Chain A
Amino acid sequence: MAEIESKALQAKEKAEVTTPAEQTRPGLVFTPAVDIFETDKEITLLADMPGVKARDLNIDLREDVLTLASDVKSPEGADEVDVIREYRTGKYYRQFTLSQVIDQSKIDAELRDGVLRLRLPKVEAATPRKIAVKS
């Protein structure tokens, strides 16, 4: 892989999203930044979800739609007053349509330091095989 030189990170405002159905509790909903890549065996999804604990995260896969939804509790204590507020906290929500067939029993999810790593192994039949052409 080529050398990636360190450049300065740019600040981005968190992207708010309007979910298709309204939330039952009022609050902001944001879209987490994700990286998705696939190899021959599996699809991996990495999502930045700071402030999310494993028990508040719901990952759902049904009918080829993958849904990431999580609740984030406000980290401030009750007696704290805002001096500067540059970002807001809120729930995370994002949906993806998967074009591949996924082996649901082997899905693996790991949440560490606010980064979710979701590994979706493809069903065996979908791994490409080279077919030799006999002449």
Chain B
Amino acid sequence: MLFRRMTGWPTRDWTSPFEELDRMRRQMDLLTGGLSRGFLSEPAAGVFPLMNVTEGKDNYYVRAELPGFEAEDMDISVTGDTLSISGERKLPVEDEKARYHRREREAGRFSRIISLPAQMDTGKVEAHCTDGVLTVILPKAEAAKPKQIAVKTS
């Protein structure tokens, strides 16, 4: 109390001298964000669906887990170096008299745009959805493929 009156610093109960340091440490953790969670953890879940982008020699592969989606409820489009996916999941209506024990699956819309490091050949993009995993194969544009340069010795 005396401390508060003297400095005007907002403190709660001054029960232990380390409490203030602890609070400051927690606020610093919030500011620095990812550092406190470890180097190997992925970015926090942001937008549905979570996607993995991998790069092969000639293609980019974008995968998302979309179980239970029908192909016609999904809308995929590609422009330049961005891929945009949107759609809606509908859960099939079950029996009227069903009594639910658990309900963990969700239905709803999603929409996500992701940009890729290089230009893509938009004419040759393929997408297929098997077993609830959507895979989009995006061939790299010719200009973006790495070219081997031969070193001439003269």
A75-105 interface bits toward B, Cβ cutoff 8 Å, 1 = contact, 0 = none: 1110111111111100000000000000000
Bound together, the chains give a CA A40 to CA B98 distance in angstroms of: 8
Majority secondary structure, A binding face: loop
Contact between A86 and B51 (Cβ–Cβ < 8 Å)? yes
A to B contact number (C-beta, < 8 Å): 150
Contact between B68 and A11 (Cβ–Cβ < 8 Å)? no
Contact between A87 and B52 (Cβ–Cβ < 8 Å)? yes
Residues of A within 8 A of B88 (CB): 6
Determine if B107 is an interface residue (Cβ-Cβ < 8 Å). Answer: yes
Determine if B22 is an interface residue (Cβ-Cβ < 8 Å). Answer: no
Interface size class of B (residues with CB under 8 A): 35 or more
B4-27 interface bits toward A, Cβ cutoff 8 Å, 1 = contact, 0 = none: 000000000000000000000000
Measured CB to CB, the closest approach of chain A to B103, in angstroms, equals 5
Query: Given A13-B45, A51-B132, are A40 and B67 also a contact pair (CB < 8 Å)?
Result: no
Bound together, the chains give a CA A88 to CA B111 distance in angstroms of: 21
- Where the two chains meet, the residues of A that have a C-beta atom closer than 8 Å to any C-beta of B are 1, 4, 6-13, 33-40, 44, 46, 48-53, 75-77, 79-88, 111, 113-115
- Where the two chains meet, the residues of B that have a C-beta atom closer than 8 Å to any C-beta of A are 42-57, 60-61, 63, 65-70, 88-89, 91, 93-111, 114, 116-117, 129, 131-133, 135
Give 22 pairs: A residue, B residue, CB < 8 Å, sorted on A: A1-B93, A8-B48, A9-B107, A10-B48, A11-B46, A12-B48, A35-B105, A37-B95, A37-B100, A37-B101, A39-B98, A39-B99, A50-B66, A52-B132, A75-B133, A77-B61, A80-B55, A86-B42, A113-B129, A114-B65, A114-B133, A115-B132
